[in-house]
A and B are shown apart, each in its own frame.
Chain A
Amino acid sequence: EPEVTQTPSHQVTQMGQEVILRCVPISNHLYFYWYRQILGQKVEFLVSFYNNEISEKSEIFDDQFSVERPDGSNFTLKIRSTKLEDSAMYFCATQTPYRNNEQFFGPGTRLTVL
């Protein structure tokens, strides 16, 4: 079965640096999401993306965050100036209406901000 893939699996960065997390969605899926999970806490929604634009975003998704689909296959999350509290597991998810809107998650990128 096709899978969502994410790179890198682990990213360590210094506070204030920019990071880009990458996701390759399942082919033919049209809806893309980023979620994050701070250690020991719930999985939280960040942003959803459809038809090359943001469709929804949470209050977490401030001006430091951006998403894009640069080449029609990858889906990226950029954090411009990382903070210590950005340390978390970041999950990409994709969805198709043809599977009852089931969301499929990637393996995640563990971001550690020092």
Chain B
Amino acid sequence: KQEVTQIPAALSVPEGENLVLNCSFTDSAIYNLQWFRQDPGKGLTSLLLIQSSQREQTSGRLNASLDKSSGRSTLYIAASQPGDSATYLCALLNSGYSTLTFGKGTMLLVSP
């Protein structure tokens, strides 16, 4: 059974810092990995999707990497802004299945 862990659980940084959020998983037989953003009491916004054959994906100030062999993904946020404050969730789609397995998320607070 796939287990997804996100570290740290919470992170507080001053505006302008570059930061890295970590996601680890136990079963490397994945089809893809998605990073989501969740604002308090709101839905999930897909930020980036990495196919299992890819090593990284970039969108604006966000860069996500994937290392299947070690069971790790990172989300790099450059030049953080207060508007980046949210919970970031990592979710995996296992090969042969159609359902996402989620981590518990990292709650990010970027202070002005």
Task: Give residues in A with beta carbon < 8 Å to B.
Answer: 31, 33, 35, 41-45, 48, 50, 55-56, 58, 89, 91, 93, 95, 99-108, 110
Contact = CB atoms under 8 A, between A and B. Distances in A.
B43 A108 contact: yes
Given A43-B44, A108-B43, A110-B41, A103 B100 contact: yes
B95 to A, nearest CB: 11
Interface stretch (B12-20, B28-36, B76-84): B28-36
B47 to A, nearest CB: 11
Contacts, number: 59
Given A48-B99, A56-B99, A105 B32 contact: no
B98 A91 contact: no
A102 B104 contact: no
20 contacts: A33-B99, A43-B44, A43-B100, A45-B100, A56-B98, A58-B99, A91-B44, A93-B100, A100-B32, A100-B51, A101-B31, A102-B32, A102-B49, A103-B34, A103-B46, A103-B93, A104-B46, A107-B43, A108-B42, A108-B43
